[in-house]
């Protein structure tokens, strides 16, 4: 049963800053919790990561798991492996680095099997990290070969999303980035590969395709992305546009992962910083009082469910933006601490992160016991960025 969408969020507004410039403000809520200690954040991250590492094959906790869910190079699990690199960079334990290296060798350092599909490119970011940490050029060679095939024969199809009949395979447009999730999956990998190989072709391709997708799916008035073209004319129960939380979370968190890979003096970098700031200014106004972002961003917050994957991606992006000096600490830190507290509330005693909307392309029903690899990934990305703020 699809989640019933409700009215536009009330109360989201712009407040005047001392300089007279408009500054985004979050909806009225209780006093934001204090920033947790570094030890608290690390302990929480390790507990959640350790639970997930012991549940790579036993998916009994995930009744809706697909056959692809067990594949490390599939986007569902790959999001976790990429996020685990962020924990490995900060933890005093080598077990996370060892797990990533072991998985990379097991997978032959390959991308997913679908050459053009962005979902099969995200795992490359974990392999690039491994190459930087000692695995060397061998960890880059298979993905370079795959991306070189794409660059030799780039697709030029329309970005209109036409869902295929059940069992008919992927939509034809997915040979390009015709859905907003793709902006998390492929571009950060390409930019990082371009940096490490000093081959500008990968960055040029990523920049061209990213802008094409943004020109097509980004609503300049709402400062949010439609998930794909099917949602241009869809509306919620009270006429609001349908902007999916996790879909926009993919984009926002993807920018936080990608911008650091773009050289500081690259003339293309300001485009992405501007986009990141525009999204942040909108998103901070849409957080619910309990710290979560609703599955449908413009739905009535009082009638919305808790959802941890989109929330994790937003906490990651905002915390990173504060640390990077791109977002105002006074404006965004309360949203970060409220969001992190909400995520902590979603962690069950076992270490499993709940309230994760299952695989979908739109807002849907969420339950406390719902978990997924990418939810754990969003949590670890958020935790790493919050950890950095405590330094």
- Read off the pLDDT of residues 299-351 as tens digits, 9 standing for 90 and up: 999 899 999 999 999 999 999 999 999 999 999 999 999 999 999 999 999 99
Residue 51 domain flag: yes
Residue 165 domain flag: no
Q: Residue 112: its pLDDT value, please? A: 98
Q: Given the structure tokens 């699809």, which residue do they identify? A: 2
CA distance 108 to 106: 6
* Residues of the domain holding 340: 13-153+170-389
**β-pair partners for 24:** 14
Do the Cβ atoms of 26 and 32 come closer than 8 Å? no
Number of domains into which the chain is organized? 1
Residue 8 domain flag: no
Sequence-separated contacts (24+) of 85-89 with Cβ below 8 Å: 85/125, 85/126, 85/129, 85/130, 86/380, 86/381, 86/384, 87/45, 87/46, 87/49, 87/380, 87/383, 87/384, 88/129, 89/384
Residue 159 domain flag: no
Q: At what angle do helices 329-346 and 373-389 cross, to 10 degrees?
A: 140
Q: Residue 30: its pLDDT value, please? A: 56
What CATH number is associated with residue 249?
A: 1.50.10.10
Q: What is the mean pLDDT of the chain?
A: 93
Which pTM was predicted? 0.93
What is the percent of the chain where pLDDT is above 90? 88
Q: Residue 196: its pLDDT value, please? A: 98
Q: Which residues contact 260 (CB under 8 A, 6 or more apart)?
A: 324
**pLDDT, average across residues 241-267:** 99
Residue 53 domain flag: yes
CA-closest candidate to residue 179, choices 108, 125, 251: 251
CA distance 298 to 288: 11
Residue 235 domain flag: yes
Does the annotation mark 181 as catalytic? yes
CA distance 130 to 172: 33
Do the Cβ atoms of 316 and 293 come closer than 8 Å? no
Residue 94 domain flag: yes
Residue 160 domain flag: no
For residue 228, what is the DSSP state? Answer: S
**pLDDT, average across residues 233-247:** 96
Could you give the residue ranges of the DSSP H alpha helices within 173-244?
Answer: 182-185, 187-197, 200-217
> Exactly one of 119, 181, 228, 388 is catalytic; which is it?
181
């Amino acid at each position: 049963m699809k989640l019933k969408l409700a009215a536009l969020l009330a109360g989201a507004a712009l407040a005047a800053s001392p300089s007279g410039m408009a500054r985004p403000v979050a909806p009225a809520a209780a006093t934001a919790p204090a920033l947790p200690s570094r030890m608290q954040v690390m302990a929480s991250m390790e507990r959640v990561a350790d639970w997930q590492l012991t549940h790579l094959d036993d998916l009994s906790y995930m009744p809706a798991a697909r056959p692809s869910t067990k594949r490390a190079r599939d986007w569902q699990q790959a999001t976790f492996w990429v996020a685990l690199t962020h924990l490995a960079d900060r933890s005093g334990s080598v077990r996370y680095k060892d797990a990533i290296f072991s998985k990379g060798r097991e997978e032959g350092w390959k991308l997913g099997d679908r050459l053009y599909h962005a979902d099969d490119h995200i795992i490359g970011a974990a392999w690039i990290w491994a190459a930087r940490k000692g695995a060397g050029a061998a960890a880059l060679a298979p993905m370079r070969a795959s991306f070189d095939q794409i660059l030799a024969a780039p697709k030029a199809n329309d970005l209109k999303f036409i869902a295929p009949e059940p069992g008919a395979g992927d939509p034809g447009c997915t040979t390009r980035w015709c859905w907003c999730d793709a902006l998390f999956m492929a571009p950060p990998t390409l930019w990082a590969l371009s940096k490490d190989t000093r081959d500008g072709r990968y960055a040029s391709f990523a920049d061209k395709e990213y802008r094409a997708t943004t020109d097509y799916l980004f609503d300049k008035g709402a400062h949010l992305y439609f998930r794909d073209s099917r949602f241009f004319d869809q509306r919620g129960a009270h006429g609001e546009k349908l902007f999916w939380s996790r879909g926009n979370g993919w984009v926002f968190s993807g920018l936080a992962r990608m911008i650091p890979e773009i050289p500081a003096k690259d003339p293309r970098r300001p485009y992405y910083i501007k986009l990141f700031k525009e999204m942040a200014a909108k998103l901070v106004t849409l957080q619910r009082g309990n710290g979560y972002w609703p599955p449908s961003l413009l739905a009535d917050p009082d009638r919305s469910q808790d959802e941890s994957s989109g929330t994790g991606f937003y906490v990651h992006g905002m915390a990173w933006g504060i640390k990077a000096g791109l977002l105002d600490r006074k404006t965004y830190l309360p949203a970060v601490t409220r969001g992190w507290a909400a995520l902590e509330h979603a962690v069950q005693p076992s270490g499993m992160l709940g309230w994760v909307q299952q695989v979908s392309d739109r807002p849907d029903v969420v339950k406390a016991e719902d978990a997924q690899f990418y939810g754990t990934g969003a949590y670890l990305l958020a935790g790493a960025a919050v950890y950095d703020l405590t330094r």
